[in-house]
Amino acid sequence: MAVRKTLYHLKRPVSLVYGTHHDLAFKIRGATNAIRSTLQENSPSKLTVVTHSSGNHAQALSLAARQLGVRAHVVMPITSSPVKKAAVRGYGAIVTECIPTLQAREDAAREVINQEMAQDPQRKVAFVPPYDDGVLCPASIRAVVEILL
């Protein structure tokens, strides 16, 4: 169920709706920015993006990749929500499951990257981290600033 909240303490009233699939709005900006920065040097048909995530980043990256014509591969813990896994697959990404530890996610992502490069040495494979990334964060922060101003 969506929740609507109006913020009156800003320069002008802003209504926010959250609790829907649009929760991805701030994540999709970062994911799109990350893919576009990689596309400056590569053709979409020759690029695969790889990440690990339990859901929100996975969905955002998968959707951004589909919109930009890029192949996406996501490592998700077996404990991730079936709804989120279905959404990631629905956006066209390949999902590889792993046990729910950070080490397992990182190991599985490295294995996916190695497999992708072995299948097609001409293909560029880029890892897009799910957090603490200098390309993802500014785009996400900009989305929040646009809402608040």
What residues are labeled active site?
A: 27, 54
Please say whether the beta carbons of 135 and 30 come within 8 A. yes
Please say whether the beta carbons of 77 and 99 come within 8 A. yes
How many angstroms separate the CA atoms of 17 and 4, rounded?
Answer: 4
Please say whether the beta carbons of 63 and 31 come within 8 A. yes
Alpha helices in 23-101 (DSSP H): 25-39, 56-68, 82-90
